[in-house]
Amino acid sequence: METTRFLSGSQLKWIAVVAMFLDHTAKIISFPPSVMSVPFAPEPTPLSETLQVFFRVFIIFGRLAFPIFCFLLVEGFLHTSNTKRYLIRLSLFALISEIPYDLAFSHQLIDLKSQNVFFTLLIGLLVIIGLKKLSTRSITTITLSLILIGIGIFLAEWFHTDYGGWIGVLLIVILYLFRDFRLAKCLLGAGVLLQNSLFGPTAFLPIYFYNGKRGKQWKYFFYWFYPVHLLVLTGIQQFLIMPYFN
């Protein structure tokens, strides 16, 4: 009996966006370790301790975001009518998001030691574009496909993109190669995510119930949300929270 599928692409995006927002709120707004060394910092209060508990829950829940975004990237690639435009859009927002990402997590305008998640998605997209072109089965194409996957993983690790190659790019590849095998791609994807989190694999529960429909489209909202919410959270941390402790 076929399992009922009831989640659209739009609903999955909202789950991922909320999870990402909670995760970043916890990581950016929660009191950084450096604050604890500030002279005369106030003693922990029941409220602050309760908030820290919530922040830890936010971070756990946040593990849902990345796998869903990878899944939606593959779905977008499979159904887009213009792969080139899709590639350009990802590239553009990777560049736009880099300064907000560095300000949020490195407190620097430019930090080449870590790159935002759009770069991971971009490299993954380039890899599956190549895999599509090598879709005919032969020893040559299989060899070239493995080399291409290896290059993608290497680039993501070398550029220090968020989630890197062994998690990010490999997950995108698995979701693409096993796109027609719902259970297999969920189990294999969950296995990849175990490198990073015990809770992350639960993202494949909503993915499993994806109904194949796009749902209501908020195309550019979801792209702009990433850099904008990072800037807002960074502003709250720098101009509201840190002055209080200093």
Structure tokens at 163: 């989630």
Assess if residue 2 is contained within a domain: no
Count how many domains the chain has. Answer: 1
Angle between helix 83-105 and 65-79 (nearest 10):
160
pTM, two decimals, is: 0.91
The verdict on residue 206 lying in a domain is yes
Residue at 207 is within a domain: yes
Question: Is residue 177 assigned to a domain?
Answer: yes
Sign of CA dihedral 217, 224, 198, 115: positive
The amino acid present at 40, given as its one-letter code, is F
What residues pair up with 7 in beta bridges, in sequence order?
Answer: 210
The reply to whether 3 falls in a domain is no
Residue 232 lies in a domain: yes
94 is in which domain, residue-wise?
9-245
- Whether residue 227 is contained in a domain is answered as yes
Cα dihedral sign for 132, 136, 141, 142? positive
Cα separation, 38 vs 143, whole angstroms: 56
CA dist 117 and 229 (Å) reads 14
210: β partners: 7
Domain-embedded: residue 106: yes
Going residue by residue through the chain (246 aa), what tens digit of pLDDT does each one get? 456 788 999 999 999 999 999 999 999 987 554 444 444 445 666 666 777 888 999 999 999 999 999 999 999 999 998 999 999 999 999 999 999 999 999 999 999 999 999 999 999 999 999 999 999 889 999 999 999 999 999 999 999 999 999 999 999 999 999 999 999 999 999 999 999 889 999 999 999 999 999 888 887 899 999 999 999 999 999 888 877 666
